[in-house]
Amino acid sequence: MSEIPLKQIRNIGIIAHIDAGKTTVTERVLYYTGKKHKVGEVHKGEAEMDWMEQEKERGVTITAAATTVFWTPKNKKEQVKINIIDTPGHIDFTAEVQRSLRVLDGGVVVFDGVAGVEPQSETVWHQAEKFKIPLIAFINKLDRTGADFYSDLDSIHERLTKNAYPIQLPVGTEADFKGIIDLFTRRAQIYLDEMGKEIKDEEIPAELKDKTEEYRHKLIEAIVEHDDQLMEQYLEGKELAIDDLKKVLRQAVIKGKIVPVLCGSALKNKGIQAMLDAVCEYLPSPLDVPPVEGIVPSTKEKTTRRADENEPLAALAFKIATDPYMGRLCYFRVYSGVITAGSYILNTTTNHKERIGRIVRIHANRREEVESVGAGDIAAIVGIKNTSTGDTLCDIDHPIILESITFPEPVVSVAIEPKTKSDQEKMGIGIAKLVEEDPTFKVRSDEETGQTIISGMGELHLEIIVDRLSREFNISANVGQPQVAYKETITAETKIEGKYIHQSGGRGQYGHCYLKLEPLERGKGFEFVDAIKGASIPREYIPAIKKGVIEAMSGGVLAGYPVIDMKVTVYDGSYHEVDSSEAAFKIAAARAIREGVKNAKPAILEPIMKIEVVVPEKFLGEIIGDLNSRRSQIQGTKTRGQMKLVEAISPLAEIFGYTTALRSMTEGRGSSTMEFFHYAPVPRKVQEKLTGEENK
């Protein structure tokens, strides 16, 4: 059971673009809350939350790490328990962000004080919007050369939301950044020591008074819009009570109407305590968010569960991890009820009963055993066998299925083969464990070559997977060149008849259906429609037809790539009283698809990436020329401090290894980030090359 009342719990994520300083922010949070007594630096490989070997070496977060801290906000008596998930910023590990956001109640989005809103900042922001997660913005790195709080704020207004309002302003900038102004109290907090523990509360510097009044006025106007009583007092010219303003601001933040903007420098230990205060003051507790919705499996009716320990248990497994000492760990969030060690629960996704062995609280890679975990909390179960990411765990007598988590499809593949016979057996086990952990990591066997093909979200993703196979499972493997995950689609409508009639003495096989194939919008996937009227095909054979369609779509007619963005309607057919079977209808449907796709003007699609390149101005022409030669479309160029930023969309096939090429063109000073944008038809020459090679 929870030792802290529900209203004093916060489940938050620290999310941002790669290198904006999320992990450094989390490290400072651990330091100020007393969770650790020495600050760990990411660039030295000492960060507690980056506990994997690969994270320490590369200085990037790969896996979402969880921890729990306790904080008493300024001028408050009650302690708040904060469950924090530090998420990766690299687009290749977007699944980690997605599954973390699914179970969180609030988020702190960290922005780089120089770069402002970057591509992955937009991605995580929109993911948070999709899950309706209230946010706080923290503009970090204000001590860096080129840092500008106000231009960062403009980029948030321009690219993310107009509803972002500073509740703090910086005192000084770059090397002179020395403190923050609280817009509510009109006081400046000046940091006197290096560790940010000695803070002097003083008058606002004279040169910042006008700016303070300007932004305070904007903030108060935004707040009073959400409360009629405050609005009335404001219009009458009365001085509004700070507590009343904060109370209304909290409600507006929880509804997603306002995003408070804070500032600081995590590396220089400034602004973190005020950020923790804001998390406690403005982000929701489990009681502030709507009850979780689910479906009763037997009746398919909607139902809800409140955040209450007296309600029946409902929890969501959001991550599976393999711990070197404890084995299989299942991270879960409890929405209602209590989960107790030694009890039995029902996994409604698989319909298996599971016994809960040990329950542990997570702190990065350290574990603390607990007897039970109550509503609103996050923890992990050790050794649970039949549960995977997105499964619902609930009370056996009160089953419920919560909404699962959807993940993007992988876009890059490589062939991998073990070096020795003994590696072959180990590789199967290792890959199976990693597939269990990571829903965006897929594996298949190529029937023609017999090779094992692994697919992921990018080159770095697959590099890390291969590295983990080598270190954690001691497997030596040869890895092929990265391959693009092409897809096929249709561009025209067609109708087709599928027939399978087989007589071999005794009972035969009879399946017969008419299908209509139509192209769908990009990204819509697959749609199957049953438009049978009357009884031309009995109802029990429709699922078999759908199965046949899906199987046939796994390999297209042009070059064997999976077929996507297609709508298939079964509208007529016939059956035989004795000879018809599910297998016959499945074969008939598969034949119809193969023939129909040929007639529907098939095309090959390739993944297109959004790419941002930051380079010194003198290399701009060369970089744009190089991108054009890679079939890229330049979307625009901007100035960012002393650097030029080029935005483009490029086919993935053309930008493998682009980082290395970029460094050599810019004397090592250029950097780039990319993320998946959409699938688009390949040019005719590329299609001819792909199908030509395939036909050979």
- pTM above the 0.75 mark? no
Q: Is the pLDDT of residue 394 over 70?
A: yes
Lowest mean pLDDT among 60-64, 386-390, 613-617, 623-627: 60-64
**Measured between alpha carbons, how far is 398 from 303 in angstroms, rounded to an integer?**
11
Interacting residues of 23 by C-beta distance below 8 A, sequence separation 6+? 42, 47, 49, 50, 61, 86
Name which residue leads in pLDDT, 167 or 582: 167
Task: Give the pLDDT confidence of 199-208 residue by residue, as tens digits.
Answer: 888 899 889 9
Structure tokens at 634: 């330049």
User: Is the distance from CB of 608 to CB of 659 less than 8 angstroms?
Assistant: no
Structure tokens at 235: 């219009």
Band of pLDDT at residue 55, cut at 50, 70 and 90: very low
Task: Give the pLDDT confidence of 595-627 residue by residue, as tens digits.
Answer: 899 888 899 998 888 888 888 888 888 899 999
Average pLDDT, the chain: 83
Interacting residues of 337 by C-beta distance below 8 A, sequence separation 6+? 305, 308, 309, 310, 311, 312, 313, 314, 315, 374, 375, 395
Task: Give the pLDDT confidence of 91-136 residue by residue, as tens digits.
Answer: 556 666 777 778 888 999 999 888 888 767 777 787 788 788 999 9
**Measured between alpha carbons, how far is 641 from 644 in angstroms, rounded to an integer?**
8
Interacting residues of 583 by C-beta distance below 8 A, sequence separation 6+? 509, 511, 544
Lowest mean pLDDT among 59-68, 120-129, 458-467, 529-538: 59-68
Q: Is the pLDDT of residue 1 over 50?
A: no
User: Is the distance from CB of 385 to CB of 327 less than 8 angstroms?
Assistant: no
How many Å from the N-terminal Cα to the C-terminal Cα in the chain? Answer: 65
Task: Give the pLDDT confidence of 175-186 residue by residue, as tens digits.
Answer: 888 899 999 999
* Element (DSSP H or E) covering residue 660: helix 658-665
Interacting residues of 428 by C-beta distance below 8 A, sequence separation 6+? none
